[in-house]
Chains A and B, each alone.
Chain A
């Protein structure tokens, strides 16, 4: 187990460095000029050159990349003179647009994206799994068909359509909810939830539909396995069979899916955050795109990759707990 874990962690680090290298190459080789973007309405060549030097863009690419990678582990000092910047560990670069270290920016936005992702995840797991399992256990019944038709339709709805309908129905017409506006959980849990409910719903509808379809087919497959038949033949109550044996094995493919989805969402749901105006990482990322704020783009991509890789690792470890067939 320890050996396995060690090997996996090493692989995780390798993947992250590879992703950093690819991302870095794409953004620093393709033409885009952050110094020019920072220079503003009336920009002299003189001033532009100075900013470029300060940003370190005149140095060879591999040096910039090497500085970047070492910075993550040790922190680094950028620029010189009175305005020298110390970018503390873990230094993911410095955003000139925001005059802030990328890591601080990301950590500042993370609670918003995490609130959105986790809340939505709870909703979609509850909705999706219960719908999927119900449908599977009543295969080909009217309930099954209704649930699956609903799931296919909901999975085909573009998230922006669902969002606008929710805004129209629940805010504009019924006035039940406020326009989403992030309130930190620590400040006021009730407002936190009521402001996020709508984005949660919008995201959850899409994912719940996918999970319902997935868990249904997975459950059907599991329930047809011989060991389930054995358990039933032994005379175990149906409940025990379904919950203890069926669900446990049937949920493994769901877990893989869930790891990927949650990992991806933690680093920002770009569309949902931009529709509802939530100041999360997705929004930060989108803003960085339009200002050409490359350090932030790089940082968000890396963070997202890290979340996905770590979520995958966590899922693999969880397998051992959930699926009795898996041992490391």
Chain B
């Protein structure tokens, strides 16, 4: 931009950021400041557009297809939002509330949040009366059990593995295909379901939010094809689904709002247009003309579109940017040289220019720097900064640490990153290079990424990946990322630093057994800092999920438990008459 627009822009930004000054001299950084308020986060914890009117067609513009809508296979944040808020109900679900309160649980199919036995090894749920499928038949406890069993089927991969991790007698179970059933899930009558667990698990209701715990009637099961036409128990049913092109949802007339305290189901119809270009979606929503006024974006705003959104107050009014609560990390293979030496790992910790990665990730408006492993929501709102490493890194200190480790000439290593993280990986490469750590990048297609880095033998020394807590508890973060007992030679997940530390594991078990949730939360926070000091991974940043909404959208907020995606339970239109057909 030239000097004049720069000044004008700075003025606009200065005013809207409530900053005192925003200098624009000599072509230096023009806008914003790290201490200023983030303009993108202005709507954090609030809904945009007031209360929607009933009716109309909500359009969702997407650059991709859903990974899976089959509830047994659906384990991607956004898809879980879409599936459980629109198409199928689960035993328990998240509150439909903006902000951190959205992490709270409410009963959905069940009448309450479940009744544990004294040792929290057996959990009983009762189903509500009057919950029906799209053909009017009632939802039964057997259908929930059946879908839990389906999630074990090798033909239906991809789903959450909480059932496999916690249910008793689940070892070696391979789904209901051969008529075999799980004895640890009992259905004494049509509206009661009992889960018997392998070990005490006080947070089991949190797990029953997963689509694994949605009902699928056996008569409707079509194996892998069920993915294309899930049978609805929610407020909408599939009218047509052309994979990769278009999904149309219409009302399920048998859904009874009286049984549902979460879903509002404002629009009459939802149309998901898929396979569009991400940048064209951004442009369409920024312009918000015609039918696009009643549209929302499925994917996050592209970083390069920030320059079209942030300076414009009228567009910024329609911007959501809730945190995804996922921490991106540079994870080092602690099981072999050179990263078996904590000094080398700490050198990486010091060399890394998190600010450069942040810029590559869309800048401070769409990301928050990370100084701890668990996201801020698990620290009560703000991550502590125990190490006090400068955001741009400290290359001298890193070099010194390398010298102490006996590697004065630096090291050469490789990092694997998903294709979408290429820019971030390049920033890592560049900043570690300053301290003599020469990094080669291997990008992998997103679909093959987890399989590639899960091969502990053949993978690279470093990987760039993150972890999102499945629900707001330290127990869904630290044990998944740092417990050495869950390392698998192939198909490894979570613990990509292959970190195995006896003191840490012992402490995790102790915290896991705590019944006082507040004490447990504090204990997780302290453990976080203790692991950080050993530097198995370097936390980099927590992304936000920026979304520009059409001008006719109402009741929209980013749901904190769905990675900042719009809560599809409550979104609707200001004026249904303005939407297409």
Contacts and interface: CB of A to CB of B under 8 A. Distances in A.
Given A105-B243, A290-B445, A99 B491 contact: no
A215 B419 CA distance: 43
A294 to B, nearest CB: 12
B319 to A, nearest CB: 20
Contacts of A81: 177-178
B450 interface: yes
Contacts of A172: 283
B182 interface: no
Interface in B472-488: 488
Given A37-B448, A40-B450, A279-B244, A51 B154 contact: yes
A83 B177 contact: yes
A137 to B, nearest CB: 42
Contacts of A278: 275
A283 interface: yes
A116 to B, nearest CB: 14
A45 B489 CA distance: 9
Contacts of B448: 33, 36-37, 291-292
Interface string A15-58: 00000000000000000010011111111111110110010000
B335 interface: no
Interface residues of B, number: 50
Interface in B454-496: 454, 488-491, 493-494
Interface in B151-165: 153-155, 157-161, 164
Interface string A277-296: 11100011001011110000
A221 interface: no
B158 A41 contact: yes
A91 to B, nearest CB: 16
A277 B275 contact: yes
B166 to A, nearest CB: 14
Contacts of B174: 50
Contacts of B225: 99-100
A54 B280 contact: no
B244 to A, nearest CB: 6
B446 interface: yes
Interface of A is mostly: helix
Contact of B276 (A39, A42, A99, A181): A181
Contact of B157 (A40, A275, A277): A40
Contacts, number: 128
Nearest to B455: A36
Interface string B212-248: 0000000001011101100000000000001111000
A44 B488 contact: yes
Contacts of A105: 243
A48 B491 contact: yes
A307 interface: no
Interface string A102-126: 0001001000000000000000000
A189 interface: no
Interface string B331-347: 00000000000000000
Candidate in A45, A50, A277, A278 with the most chain B CB atoms within 10 angstroms: A277
A41 B228 CA distance: 20
Interface in B24-43: none
A83 B73 CA distance: 15
B557 interface: no
Contacts of A98: 243-244
A79 B454 CA distance: 27
Given A41-B75, A290-B447, A48 B280 contact: no
Contact of B419 (A38, A50, A274, A290): A290
A179 B280 contact: yes
Contacts of B159: 40
Contacts of A284: 244
Interface residues of A, number: 47
B167 to A, nearest CB: 15
Interface in A49-98: 50-51, 54, 79, 81-83, 85, 96-98
B405 to A, nearest CB: 33
B273 interface: yes
A211 interface: no
Interface string A137-181: 000000000000000000000000000000100001000000101
B491 A179 contact: no
Given A275-B277, A283-B275, A83 B451 contact: no
B365 interface: no
A43 B244 contact: no
Contact of B447 (A46, A83, A292): A292
Nearest to A172: B283
B284 A179 contact: yes
Contacts of B242: 108, 279
Contact of A43 (B153, B157, B275, B283): B157
B280 A33 contact: no
B378 to A, nearest CB: 20
B245 A47 contact: no
B521 interface: no
Contacts of A276: 277
Contacts of B227: 99
B63 interface: yes
Contacts of B177: 81-83
Interface string A213-239: 000000000000000000000000000
Nearest to B161: A42
Given A37-B448, A43-B454, A98-B243, A277 B276 contact: yes
Interface string B418-437: 01000000000000000000
Contacts of B419: 290
A167 B276 CA distance: 14
Interface in B165-218: 174, 176-178
Nearest to B158: A40
Contacts of A287: 65, 244
B274 interface: yes
A43 B491 contact: yes
Given A45-B491, A290-B445, A99 B228 contact: yes
A182 interface: yes
B277 A82 contact: no
A39 B491 contact: yes
Contacts of A36: 448, 451
B197 to A, nearest CB: 19
Given A98-B243, A99-B225, A277 B63 contact: yes
Given A45-B491, A50-B154, A96-B224, A182 B280 contact: no
A41 B273 CA distance: 25
Nearest to B178: A81
Contacts of B221: 82
Contacts of B63: 277
Nearest to A80: B177
A290 B64 CA distance: 12
B172 to A, nearest CB: 8
Contacts of A279: 242, 244-245, 274-275
B157 A47 contact: yes
Interface in B260-308: 273-277, 280, 283-284
A69 B277 CA distance: 36
Nearest to A291: B447
Given A43-B493, A50-B154, A99-B227, A277 B447 contact: no
A33 B491 CA distance: 13
Contacts of A46: 154
Interface in A183-241: none
22 contacts: A33-B448, A36-B448, A37-B448, A38-B157, A39-B158, A39-B491, A40-B73, A40-B159, A42-B160, A42-B491, A42-B493, A43-B157, A44-B488, A46-B154, A48-B490, A51-B155, A51-B157, A81-B178, A108-B245, A179-B276, A277-B280, A287-B244
Given A42-B160, A42-B161, A181-B273, 5 more contacts: A43-B491, A44-B488, A79-B155, A108-B242, A179-B276
